[in-house]
Chains A and B, each alone.
Chain A
Amino acid sequence: MPEAGSPLLLEIGLGILMLLVFFVGLFTPGEDRRRVGVLTAIGLVILFGFSWRAEAGAELFHGTFVQDELALFAKRLFFLATLIGVLASLPLRAAAFARRATEYYLAILASLLGMLVLSSARDLVLLFVAFELMSIPLYYLAGFLKREPEAVEAALKFFLIGTVSSAVLAYGLSFMYGIAGTTDVRGVAHALGAGHPMLLLGMLLALGGLGFKIAAFPFHMWVPDTYEAASTPFVAWLSVAPKAAGFVVIFRLYLEGMGDRVLYWVPAAAALATVTIIGGNLMAIPQHNVKRLLAYSGVAHIGYMLMGFAAVSANGAAMMLFYLVAYLFGNMGAFLVVEVVAQSEGSEAITAYRGLAQRSPILALCMLLFLLSLGGIPFVAGFWAKLYVFWAAAEQGLYWLVLVGAVLTVVALFYYLLVAKRMYIDAPERREPVPVAPLLAFCIFLCVLGVVVIGIYPKPLVVAALRAVGPLF
């Protein structure tokens, strides 16, 4: 459809990229198909570039597909995250990544396609399909190392929980459709005015289903297992992109065009945020495996983002987006460092970080920066993120929530500092520096750059986020 070309440009381009990857992979002789990854990376770079060219405002298919500021913001975020994830995957050691590169990158791209569409879907059907398209590849990406029992087990758990929760989601969506009488999200928002209990039931069920995707507290339980078992670069990506998509869906379903009915969600969101923050932080304390620790801390961060949701205001949503970006850099960076250390030490235990500061100070400093950013310390991105969501919540009058959040930040710092202690205080067992694959180094550098730049000069990002949530309210 030519007239629809421009808004769908990114999606179509991605489709083409997928085809390219597919065929190149098909016709690549031998056991090593890494070139596919390179191709993917290049393609993503190009698309990322295009995503800055795309202009907002277009609607397609009777407004079921919108290319608004929010969608664009989200898409750029997805591209960035995926790009980093792909680049970081290139130097992966396991043979499967060489031989089965096609499947790997194809799956990533498929999921990415799902996210892209999801971020601009304004129709329940489209939303559900895109949601599934995003999820299904993740299931087997999680189990990509199919020789390792843990990986497969993690994949299976992920799959089971995922399907159940998507069933819950679909069930909720069915109610929404039934009461609203249309699959158009705006219709739903309009119908909520009547406040029909069944509609509310549907939206709560849907919230549960989405809660799984964003890993809010009671729905989070797949997270640590999956993170621990799956390959780290993928986890880094998994910990950011799908969650972001989930939040975009939440925006679309619960905030967009709701007017002052949004206030209805405050108790739910606040409750979710509280339990998520508390649960995530507390469960992170006793972890010995860095990836599990980051997983739980990630859950806690979702809680902080939910504070932004609980604020149900333009500021709240914007600060949530800001938080997402900060979290992207901080969390992915941390995971990449984990990958580096794991490659050299062969262990993901916290003890593997003993004396890292004396072995390779730069790497340790990067890790410290990421941890501090996650902990919310000034002059790195995470601080502003936390501060802004607090600020938004405070505006909504949720001072108690702010206090809970702030106090549990201290708990979070406890376990982050434990890692810092390993790196800086403990004495190293071996002296020689940790070898870093150049690509990984580059990705880590990107993340540090992001963390520090945002930390020092957050203004542009704030403005962008505020502009992105403009159409919602």
Chain B
Amino acid sequence: MAASGNFALWAWLAPALSFVLLSLIVPLRRSGKAAAWLSIVLSAGALVAAVSAWRASVPDMARRMLWEWIPVEDGVLTSVGVLADADSTLMLILVALVSFLVQVYSLGYLADEPPASLGRYYTYQSLFAFSMMGLVLAPNFVQLFICWELVGLCSYLLIGYWYARPEAARAAVKAFWVTKAGDVGFLIGIVMLWSRTGTFDFSELFEMAQGGSDALTGLGLVMFCIYLGAAGKSAQFPFHVWLPDAMEGPTPVSALIHAATMVTAGVYLLFRTAFLFEQAPEVLAAVGWIGAFTALFAATLACVQRDIKRVLAYSTVSQLGYMMAAIGAGFASAGFLHLLTHGVFKALLFLAAGAVIHAVGTNDIFGMGGLARRMPQTFVIFLVGTLSLAGIPFFGGFFSKEEILGATWAGGLTVPFAMLVAAAFLTAFYMFRVVFVAFMGAPAGSAAHGSGPGGHDAAHAHDAPAIMTVPLWILALLAMVIGVGFARSHPEAEFVAPDWLTSLAVGAALGGIVLSAVVYALGWISPAWIFRRLAVVGDAAMERFWLDDFFALLYRRGILELARIVGWVDRYIVDGVVNVLSAWTLTLGDRLRRIQSGQAQDYVYGIALGVLLLMVWMRWPR
């Protein structure tokens, strides 16, 4: 078990090594391919180390390794290190696995990038892997926050990877600003928590919680601030606006960062610190409600997207809502479970979508069509992902989603439960919408504009090269394995789910599939007709419920305007006063100079007045 920590440490340091090498050895970075392979090899190593760390770990037994980081007079303010236990190592595996596969996949996906920027890409990738693992293994709030910010940075850098494209550059800063806004709350929360408990360390806090220390009573405000951070990262309503835009980054990045790992950091944080949130039930309830709402809300948005990546992005938001809802219901492990499974099949979906885009050269599903025949492998893989996302039995997502539904029901959050069911229905609907539109039916004419690399079109698209398909297959199999595995042996849950739950969940999913089949495959009902029925929601959804516009307004009219005013005040009032004073001094000198009239007798006046005033002045004091 001691090994567990060391393995975890190695896993953590492997990408760090590759990052340092790539960033310091400039020619290596600029060489492109070599850099890529270095990074890939090291992340493979990380994967191995992670797995062995998991195998070495035993439940309910944490292994800590700490190094002093910020000293204070009496001891240590905070330290850095590794906290390896069953959960963190499991998450570690997910991170290592996905990032490894994505790195391999990217080699094919970004084949025709200039070597220098390819090197930049892999440098960022390694940095991300390093920071994400650090986050996962963080033994205390400070390290968690550090890595938290670093993964945010990586997401910023990778979204803006194609910075020459205005949308990409804009999306990058948008992502950073929105998540950072949440982090403001997070930081405040940490500070408050520290000044209450005097520690950042999870274990110590856990012991406090066990011991029922009164330092932890009435944590409501603190925990809510911390939750804000999680909400920002995990794109909870209303912070979700950045995630869809983040799709401007290369698709592998979206798969890794904006589907599988980083966005789930918020969930992971809540899962990690659940013992603290339990001290503040009201906050937990809020988490649950917001999560459920986000799930439903995002699902509706996903139904109207034409961009395949945006569909997936909204579905990610919605799934994150699921996890949050479970945690809010008080059953964090359920959320964590869904986190893992979702990580797998959402990465799968994104990468598959990437393959499609790579082949077709467009993101618009209506610009595709009939790809099933031309890209059979991709079709199968995508289908696997879709089914597990929809929550069909024997597929990855089924069990974890049902767990969540059960958790919310058992947690007594009835309304959120209803929302989640509805969301499940919609999920199945929009995912199969994609399947039917993009893969079935007749190929659309050659796509207008390609936003992905390569300018091919749907007509002669073909499966991606092996370097891209192999990772896809691995993930697909994994999704199946998880599904089947859970079907064979449930890990016993901490709550009793009502027996009608399974049928309800499956029913909702099937309903969604049927409906989308009716609409898009068979064409019995035209989408337009549905829209006319749901005009209000439809238009609003088309406009993303005006949320983005609202934030843009806040930024332009609010912050920038305020800044303009302050700038004006500084320039013309604060500085103006200074200039006025100096100008007055100059003018005063000029005026005073006038008394030097040049006429002798006026000078005599000076003398006489001087004597007179002197006399007057001297008689005053007494």
Contacts and interface: CB of A to CB of B under 8 A. Distances in A.
Interface stretch (A83-91, A154-162, A353-361): A154-162
Interface string B579-622: 00000011011101101101010111011011101110110110
Contacts of A387: none
Nearest to B582: A414
Nearest to A282: B589
A286 B617 contact: no
Contact of A165 (B588, B598, B600, B607): B607
Contact of B618 (A161, A164, A219, A267): A267
Contacts of B586: 285-286
Contacts of A205: 611
A382 B617 CA distance: 31
B607 A161 contact: yes
Contacts of A200: 618
Contacts of B611: 168, 204-205, 208
Nearest to A279: B592
Given A268-B618, A285-B586, A286-B586, A160 B610 contact: no
Say what secondary structure dominates the interface of chain A: helix
B610 A218 contact: yes
A200 B619 CA distance: 10
Interface-centre pick from B602, B603, B609 (highest chain A CB count, 10 A): B603
A221 B607 CA distance: 9
Interface in B152-200: none
B598 A168 contact: no
A164 B601 CA distance: 10
Interface string A267-282: 1100110000001001
Q: In which size bucket is the chain A interface?
A: 35 or more
Given A284-B589, A411-B585, A164 B610 contact: no
Interface in A236-275: 267-268, 271-272
B592 A283 contact: yes
Which residue of B598, B609, B610 has the most chain A CB atoms within 10 A of its CB atom? B610
A212 interface: yes
Contact of A219 (B588, B596, B600, B607): B607
Counting chain B CB atoms within 10 Å of each CB, which of A222, A225, A282, A287 scores highest?
Answer: A282
A224 interface: yes
Contacts of B585: 282, 285, 411
A79 B512 CA distance: 112
A160 B598 CA distance: 13
A285 B587 CA distance: 9
Contact of B590 (A156, A160, A207, A286): A286
A221 B606 contact: yes
Interface in B519-577: none
A210 to B, nearest CB: 11
A201 interface: yes
A225 B595 CA distance: 13
Contact of A285 (B589, B596, B598, B609): B589
Interface string A121-158: 00000000000000000000000000000000000110
Contacts of A282: 585, 588-589, 592
A233 interface: no
A160 B600 contact: yes
Contacts of B602: 221
Given A160-B600, A282-B592, A207 B607 contact: no
A157 B607 CA distance: 13
Contacts of B615: 201, 204
A207 B607 CA distance: 11
Contacts of A283: 589, 592-593, 596
A43 interface: no
> Considering residues A200, A208, A268, which has the most beta carbons from chain B within 10 angstroms of its beta carbon?
A208
B239 to A, nearest CB: 52
Contacts of B607: 161, 164-165, 168, 208, 211-212, 218-219
Interface string A393-414: 0000000000000000001000
A168 B604 CA distance: 11
B589 A156 contact: no
Nearest to A411: B585
Contacts of B606: 218-221
B589 A204 contact: no
A274 to B, nearest CB: 11
A208 B610 contact: yes
B613 A161 contact: no
A156 B604 CA distance: 13
A211 B611 CA distance: 9
Interface in A163-218: 164-165, 168, 200-201, 204-205, 207-208, 211-212, 216-218
Contact of A161 (B588, B603, B614, B621): B603
Given A218-B609, A267-B621, A268-B617, A161 B589 contact: no
A168 B593 CA distance: 26
A271 B621 CA distance: 12
Interface string B294-318: 0000000000000000000000000
Interface string A282-312: 1111110000000000000000000000000
Contacts of A217: 610
B581 to A, nearest CB: 11
B592 A267 contact: no
A220 B593 CA distance: 12
A200 B343 CA distance: 99
A272 B613 CA distance: 10
Nearest to B595: A221
A212 B621 CA distance: 24
A205 B620 CA distance: 17
B614 A156 contact: no
Contacts of B603: 157, 160-161, 221-222
A200 B615 CA distance: 9
Nearest to A208: B611
B564 to A, nearest CB: 33
A268 B619 CA distance: 10
Nearest to B601: A160
Contacts of A286: 586, 589-590, 593
A161 B609 contact: no
A471 to B, nearest CB: 27
A296 to B, nearest CB: 9
A267 B617 contact: yes
Contacts of B600: 156-157, 160-161
B200 to A, nearest CB: 49
A271 B617 contact: yes
Contacts of B595: 221
- Specify which of A205, A217, A219 lies most central, judged by the most chain B CB atoms within 10 Å of its CB: A219
A222 B603 CA distance: 7
9 contacts: A218-B610, A221-B595, A221-B603, A267-B620, A282-B589, A283-B589, A283-B596, A285-B585, A285-B590
Given A161-B604, A224-B596, 20 more contacts: A157-B600, A157-B603, A168-B607, A204-B611, A204-B614, A204-B615, A204-B618, A205-B611, A208-B607, A212-B607, A216-B610, A218-B613, A219-B607, A221-B595, A267-B617, A267-B621, A268-B614, A271-B617, A284-B589, A286-B586
Q: Which 9 A-B pairs give the minimum distances between C-beta atoms? A: A218-B610, A285-B589, A208-B611, A221-B603, A282-B589, A157-B600, A218-B606, A160-B600, A286-B590
